Chain A
Amino acid sequence: MMILEIKNVVAGYLPDVNVLQGINIHVSQGELVCMIGPNGAGKSTVLRAISGILKPSQGEILFGGKSIGGLRPDLVLRQGIAHVPQGHSSFPEMTVKENMLMGAYVLNNRAERERRMDKVYEMFPFLKERKNEKAGNFSGGQQKILEVGRALMLEPKMILLDEPSLGLAPITAKQVFETIKSLKNEMGMTVLMVEQNAKSGLAIADRAYVLELGVERLEGPAQTLLSDPRVAELYLGGTLKS
């Protein structure tokens, strides 16, 4: 079942300068989809257009059959799409517990927030053990997992991950990828992920898109793309335009 559908979306940060040039992407329920591509291909822009930070000028974004293109970020969040942005998005001076509560801030019910927090703690016990520590004391990988845990506080139907391995040591990055995989395998979560580290991203994904200059150039099962010579060529400075 298709949960997210992006049809011919055109969007950009400045008028008349479009980053996305009529892109088409779809994600099915319970699928882990990875977008790869060189710098400036528009990978993060796709996520921003979905979560409402950026308004598409053309095209359609459907979530569960409903159009969400151009909706305010908080309303997209309420639809059940959680966005974990690039870099550190936790509050470094707040405790782990407070960070988790911030994840469900739009939720007005205290008991419900506590219940969801317990559920996330069950998944990541180290967050519970260190709940009174400042998030800023965490290592990069631990912060990333905290951010994923925070995103789960809204019990989203789908999670958008923007370069989860950015700036992490290889070992930590591996742990973060394991976490993402377990989101899908254990929770049945639908994930759309952007990854600069193509090899690791493709290794855990079901399906993948290769983006270049604001459109999708290749699409297919992640394992197939992993061994596609054209993907390697793209990363070595080639182009797929031909």
Chain B
Amino acid sequence: MEFLRRWWKLIALLILLAFPWVYREPYYHSLGFFVLLYAMMATSWNIMGGYTGYKSLGHSAFYGLGAYLVAIAANKLGWNPLISAPFLAIIVALVAVLLGWIMLRTSGSAFVIATIAMLLIFRITALNLREITKGAPGLSQPLPPWSPEFSRMPFYYYILFWLIVALFVSWYIRRSRFGLGLVAMRDDEGKAEMVGVNTTLYKILAFGVSAYFVALGGGVWSYFTSHISPIYAFDILVGVDMILMTMLGGLGTLWGPVLGAFILVPARDLILFKFGSTSIYLAITGGLMMLVIIFMPKGFLTTITDWVENRHAPRAAHQGARSMADIYDSSSEKKQGEDESSHE
């Protein structure tokens, strides 16, 4: 147990590194790619939606924008997508900062609606800007130079690398002063401002960061599929999936979004395989989201850690009450009773 607790990250990494060599069929490479891709994007979404508490339903806009920028750069300028994607994603992040500056004047459900509107504007623009995007039929880009047999494996490792970067960024933000400010804002924006958090600036920055890895994911995806169209690039379901994964795994936790992606992406594939690409898939996604919200609003990770904590809580409360008694002579025996009952 102790061994696992200390080394599980390394073990997980080794498993992920070995996976494409154990399961050699291209299908598994493709599935692995999507699991890692969504884990990265959900981790990114979580920085805004989980830490800061501003839930964007329109992150697909950045996915699509990243996809189109990379595809256009590949076609017009001959830039290699795997090299250009991390740089072009910076442009998308800046666009997100600009849009965030406007949209983050709203909060709560108004913000959610604003993000959906943003996504629809992007989608309509992409459909109609035919000179650049080729409209509804979509845009093709050159195939990867390596042999088709292994074509998925480089993508798999490439996105694994970026997932690790995204996790590092998420971890670093959460333990930084910036992240502390974000979490305080989620709790109470007014109070956060009172103690000196620059809420406006922080919200906008978090929005930009959370757009970055989604845009990067979109760029890599466009190269992976080699053909993109507005319907799929600016698909609201891409954003919904990120949210669903984050909420299933644990909103606002570091590993929750990853866990969610590792459960949902294979599950979604299974559903598609069993029922085909029909509306049943949509109904199941929606139904699952409802179930998660009703029965596990905090997600797997938070529910489990809360459960473990609550098993120890009466003891902790007892200790707390006793040390209060150490400071004060007053009868904290009654207090202690109150504490314990409040933990029931």
Contact = CB atoms under 8 A, between A and B. Distances in A.
Contacts of A103: 195
Contacts of A197: none
B283 interface: no
Nearest to A108: B177
A106 B196 contact: yes
A91 B184 contact: yes
B180 interface: yes
B52 to A, nearest CB: 13
A125 B326 contact: yes
A142 B177 contact: no
Contact of B187 (A77, A94, A133): A94
Given A93-B186, A126-B320, A102 B180 contact: yes
Contacts of B187: 91-94
B278 interface: no
Nearest to B190: A89
In the complex, which range does the number of interface residues on chain A fall in? 20 to 34
B199 to A, nearest CB: 12
Contacts of B323: 125-126, 129
Interface stretch (A5-13, A15-23, A169-177): A169-177
B3 to A, nearest CB: 24
Given A93-B186, A94-B187, A175 B324 contact: yes
Classify chain B's interface size.
Answer: 20 to 34
What's the dominant secondary structure at chain A's contact region?
Answer: helix
A139 interface: yes
Given A125-B326, A172-B335, A98 B316 contact: no
B335 A171 contact: yes
Contacts of B186: 93
A124 B327 contact: yes
Contacts, number: 82
A219 interface: no
Interface string A84-111: 0000010111100010011101101010
Interface in B151-198: 177, 180-181, 183-184, 186-188, 191-192, 194-197
Interface in A118-144: 124-126, 129-130, 133, 137, 139, 141-142
A109 B127 CA distance: 50
Contact of A91 (B191, B319, B324, B331): B191
A89 B191 contact: yes
A94 B327 contact: no
23 contacts: A91-B192, A92-B187, A101-B180, A102-B180, A105-B177, A105-B180, A105-B195, A105-B197, A106-B196, A125-B323, A125-B326, A126-B324, A130-B316, A130-B319, A133-B316, A137-B342, A139-B335, A139-B338, A139-B339, A141-B335, A171-B330, A171-B332, A175-B328
Closest 5 CB pairs of A and B: A126-B323, A106-B196, A91-B187, A105-B196, A93-B187
Given A74-B196, A102-B180, A174-B328, 17 more contacts: A73-B194, A91-B187, A92-B187, A93-B183, A94-B183, A94-B184, A98-B180, A102-B184, A105-B181, A125-B327, A126-B323, A129-B319, A130-B319, A171-B335, A175-B327, A175-B328, A178-B327
